[in-house]
Amino acid sequence: MLLVGTALPPEITSLRSPQHPAQQIGSRLNHDHRPYGGQAPFLPLLARAVSVVVFCSGGSCGWEAGIRGGSSPTGRCHGAACFPGIRLGCSRFAAAADHRARVLGDGALIARSVSWIDKRAAAGFYCGDMDTEALIGRAGKLSELHARHRPLVLPTVWDVWSARTAVDERFPALTIGSHPLAESRGAEDNEGQTFTEVIAAVRSIIALVDVPVSVDVEAGYGLDPAELIQGLLDAGGVGLNIEDTVHSQGGRVRSTEEHAEFVAGLRAAADAVGVPVWINGRTDLFLHAQDAASVVDEAIARMQALVEAGANSVYPVRIQDDDELITAVVSSVSVPVNCTAHPVKHDLARFAGLGVGRITYGPLLQAALTDAMKDMVRGWRD
């Protein structure tokens, strides 16, 4: 893990510790400080001089680091456990007044007040694969595309190949779906992966395309909104889907008030770091209902509440084949309505005529390609 900051006591010029202090830090922080579900500690350091620290935060490898005021980093990690979110070359540093670390004479790092980053104190600071200005630029581009295209089609991708293929066909933005991502990794949908695993996977996709990317974060993996926003931005994402089926709690559905409050938390966290993340507020009320007509009023009220809370678009799942439902939703909200489309069976002109503002494929593009592949290879069996 590489932290680049403006913050280490200038009297500290070097540090070597054969006692693996990273393991001590990892143990301590895993109990007291749980970004990304407590799986990869993140240690903000408040410094007073331009300094660089390199260390492994995974808690399972050797550790060797140099601290040089204003100079290049030195150090190496002996294992694969280093947290991948903070990379060489980051130019921002998240630090808050209640996040402290001291370097003691014996080389041990003692964390103090290791609660999650205070959003207000961290405003304007970011350390990840992309600097804040680049993230703001991509987020602004995504917003502009939603305004310019009705509907805006965001191909749902799941790996570098599918992302590059869509970009090669000149799609100006993408979304990474939880279902196809899980399928491509041999995992289950509905939060069958941890948020840490998801962020690691989507980072490799986002890094290799030059368009804005939104990420499906399902119901939030049991994390709070600030943690989700931090993880998204660490990976270079500038948009997200958030749904109301809480998979980490047995699949219960959030109430309208609870879901709106969660969306409001996401908006506040994004605003605090200065990146206008596009929030696609999803509801599964139609998905779970035996009779869609019986939940229309509740679903519309829920989507209106999400918009009031800061959602930029709404996503009522499983209305794509019902023109009346689509019309009712579109006429009731002031933001783009997202519909799931099958790339072969559905028609873009129909959605446009109904006023749909945004189209994604969910798992249906991957499913269509699966069917096509089976057709192609079937004749080659022995």
DSSP per-residue letters across 225-273: HHHHHHHHHHHT--EEEE-SEEGGGTTEE--HHHHHHHHHHHHHHHHHH
139 and 177 part of one domain: yes
Given a contact cutoff of 8 angstroms between Cβ atoms, the answer to whether 54 and 67 are in contact is no
Question: In the predicted model, is pLDDT for residue 210 greater than 90?
Answer: yes
123 part of a folded domain = no
Query: Which of 188, 271, 280 lies closest to 229 in space, CA to CA?
Result: 271
Beta-ladder partners of 125: none
**CATH no. for residue 163?**
3.20.20.60
Q: Phi-psi category of 66—alpha, beta or left, where left has phi over 0 and alpha has psi -120 to 50?
A: beta
In a domain, 309, yes or no: yes
Question: Are residues 108 and 207 located together in one domain of the fold?
Answer: no
Amino acid letter for position 86: I
**pLDDT tens readout for residues 157-187:** 999 999 999 999 999 999 999 999 999 999 9
- Domain membership of residue 118 (yes or no) is no
* Model pLDDT, residue 230: 97
For residue 326, give both structure tokens: 């689509």
Same domain, 237 and 314: yes
139 assigned to some structural domain:
yes
Domain match, 70 and 173 both: no
Residue closest to 340 by CA, chosen among 355, 351, 349, 331? 351
Residues 261 and 347 in one domain: yes
Q: Which residue has the higher pLDDT, 129 or 222?
A: 222
What confidence tens digit (pLDDT) does each residue in 69-108 have? Answer: 333 233 333 233 333 332 222 323 232 222 222 222 323 3
- Domain identity same for 302 and 219: yes
Please report whether residue 120 resides in a domain: no
Same domain, 181 and 230: yes
Residue 68 has pLDDT above 70, yes or no: no
Tens of pLDDT, residue by residue over 320-356, are 999 999 999 999 999 999 999 999 999 999 999 999 9
The reply to whether the predicted model has a pTM over 0.85 is no
Shared domain check, 29 and 108: yes
Q: What percent of the chain has pLDDT over 90?
A: 65
pLDDT of 226 above 60: yes
The confidence band for 128, taking pLDDT boundaries of 50, 70 and 90, is low
Q: Look up the domain containing 295 and give its range.
A: 133-373
Co-location of 146 and 28 in the same domain: no
**Inside any domain, residue 313:** yes
pLDDT at 130: 82
pLDDT of residue 17 exceeding 70, the answer is: no
Classified as helix, coil or strand, 46 is coil
Within 10 angstroms of residue 249's Cβ, the number of other Cβ atoms is 11
Structural domains in the chain (count)? 2
pLDDT at 129: 60
Top-confidence residue, 170 or 131: 170
Instruction: Indicate if 275 and 350 belong to the same structural domain.
Output: yes
Identify whether residues 245 and 305 lie together within a single domain. yes
310 in a domain, yes or no?
yes
For residue 100, give the 3-state DSSP assignment: strand
Q: Please state, in angstroms and rounded to a whole number, the distance separating the CA atoms of residues 5 and 44.
A: 9
Helices 256-273 & 225-235, crossing angle to 10 degrees?
Answer: 50
Q: What is the pLDDT of residues 239-292, one digit of tens each?
A: 999 999 999 999 999 999 999 999 999 999 999 999 999 999 999 999 999 999
Mean pLDDT calculated for residue range 53-67? 32
Cα–Cα distance, 26 to 34 (Å, whole number): 11
237 lies in the same domain as 311? yes
